Amino acid sequence: MKKLVAISLCSLVLVAGSVAYATGGSLIGKKVDKTVSVVVNGQKAKTEAVIIDGVTYAPVRTVGEMTGSTVKYEGGVVKVDSKKEMIIPETTGQLNSLNQRIDQAKREIDGNNATIATANEMLGKYKAHYEKEKLFESTGIKYEDSEDYKRGLAEIEKSKGAIERVGKELADLERQKSELTAK
């Protein structure tokens, strides 16, 4: 997100300068309406920006260097080269969507793990009760053949299957995220 803010700020500075040039060519002789502080990623710049005719002009070199960019002036052209990859808004939206789906998948896995833990705990209690009451002797049914055991085991297997399925989905989402951020 910091990258996006920094890139947006640099773009704003460059666009503002272009607009000023295109609309009148020169700011020489124009009255400065106000000076304002420049803050990049929470850090205040040593130089201020100026507002002329309602347009804010920030010092390109200061802002560029504060965002990790290289700023050069060559042949009447200011060149700003970002060392960081730019993330365009569309990519940011896709990343946000992937992150939400990844978080949802992780929560689903956590929920299934909790279900397994609860089922295992209940199976332990059923078994203790079965043995304490000596139900095998009275019913002739082994604990492993009881309905309680079968239900608990089925719940565990169902949750393990869901974890496996969601785990594959999670791996695919993580891969998509990695590919998107590598662009």
Q: Residue ranges per domain, the chain?
A: 2-82, 89-182
Burial class (CB in 10 A: 0-12, 13-18, 19+), 76: exposed
Model confidence pLDDT, tens digit, residues 16-43: 444 444 445 677 888 888 999 988 878 8
Residue 58's contacts (CB-CB under 8 Å, 6 or more residues apart) are 9, 12, 13, 16, 38, 49
Contact predicate 153/123, CB 8 Å:
yes
CA atoms within 13 A on the CB side of 160: 9
Amino acid at 168: K
Model confidence pLDDT, tens digit, residues 161-180: 999 999 999 999 999 989 88
**Strands, E assignment, the chain:** 34-36, 39-40, 43-44, 49-52, 55-57, 69-74, 77-82
Answer positive or negative: Cα dihedral of 38, 13, 92, 69: negative
> Exposed e or buried b for every residue in 143-158, given b needs 16+ CB within 10 A?
beebeebeebeebbee
Q: pTM of this prediction? A: 0.50
Distance CA 91, CA 147 (A): 52
Token pair in block for residue 137 = 């002797």
Model confidence pLDDT, tens digit, residues 87-131: 556 777 888 899 999 999 999 999 999 999 999 999 999 999 888
